[in-house]
Amino acid sequence: MAKKPTPKQKRKTIKKIKHPLVGIVMGSQSDWETMRHAAETLKKLGIPNEVAVHSAHRTPDRLIDWIKNVEERGAQVFIAGAGMAAALPGVVAAMTAKPVFGCPMETRVMGGMDSLLSMVQMPGGIPVGVLAVGRAGAINAALLSAAVLALGDTKIAKAVEKFRVDQTKAVPLTPE
Ligand code: RP5
């Protein structure tokens, strides 16, 4: 009988989704606390997504293999979260012509301004759509991905519409 993997061994295996529509990648395990909001938002909308940790700097070969593989399995949009000298979304955009949304992480030394500027200053020809720093950006990257997918998918369009209606209803008239 195979031995139960330790938590460390488990982290080495990506949970492959058969037909992911969105590929979510982050540069480090430390980004997950923020990037999980992108995955959770897509889950609420019923959009299949695959989540992976691959670094543009520390694991470049692994990153490129994953981009090609997840695209072959159906990914239509990519979300890339990274912090500091945040090259990750730019590298993803260099490897695929699909839309790429960048999520800048909040950082200890510069508060996320470093991540934001690294992502937003892409040279002409290789676009990355950059969202807000931190949690809001991760949520909005998922919603923007859903809006792109909704252009060709009525089920997703309805889910996005419902999300907006529910969100409006949830805003109180007075503070509680
Ligand atoms: C980036 O460096 C990652 O995206 C992360 O935000 C930052 C720091 O990484 P760790 O040192 O926490 O692994 O590549």
Establish whether residue 145 lines the binding site of ligand 1, counting it when its CB lies within 6 angstroms of any ligand atom. no
Pairing of strands 49-53, 22-26: parallel
**Tokens 């409006």 appear where?**
168
Angle between helices 135-150 and 154-169 (to 10 degrees): 140
| 1 in any annotated domain | no
| 59 in any annotated domain | yes
Kindly report the protein residue whose alpha carbon is nearest to atom 14 of ligand 1. Answer: 27
**Tokens 């969105």 appear where?**
22
pLDDT digits (tens, 9 = 90+) for 144-155: 999 999 999 999
Confidence at residue 136, expressed as pLDDT on a 0 to 100 scale: 98
| 5 in any annotated domain | no
| 3 in any annotated domain | no
This prediction's pTM: 0.92
Residue 118's Cβ-count burial label (10 Å; 0-12, 13-18, 19+) is: buried
Task: Give the integer Cα–Cα distance in Å for 118 and 95.
Answer: 18
Establish whether residue 118 lines the binding site of ligand 1, counting it when its CB lies within 6 angstroms of any ligand atom. no
- Among 24, 26, 29, 31, residue to substitute to test ligand 1 (most atoms within 8 Å of Cβ): 31
Task: Give the integer Cα–Cα distance in Å for 146 and 144.
Answer: 5
| 169 in any annotated domain | no
The total domain count for the chain is 1
Confidence at residue 16, expressed as pLDDT on a 0 to 100 scale: 83
**Tokens 């695959």 appear where?**
50
Provide the residue range defining the domain that includes 158.
17-163
> Domain of 106: which CATH number?
3.40.50.1970
Kindly report the protein residue whose alpha carbon is nearest to atom 3 of ligand 1. Answer: 27
Instruction: State the DSSP H helix or E strand holding residue 109, giving kind and residue range, or none if neither.
Output: none
- Nearest-Å Rg of the Cα atoms of the chain is 17
pLDDT digits (tens, 9 = 90+) for 155-174: 999 999 999 999 999 999 99
| 46 in any annotated domain | yes
Q: What's the 62 CA to ligand 1 centre distance in angstroms?
A: 16
Confidence at residue 2, expressed as pLDDT on a 0 to 100 scale: 46
Establish whether residue 105 lines the binding site of ligand 1, counting it when its CB lies within 6 angstroms of any ligand atom. yes
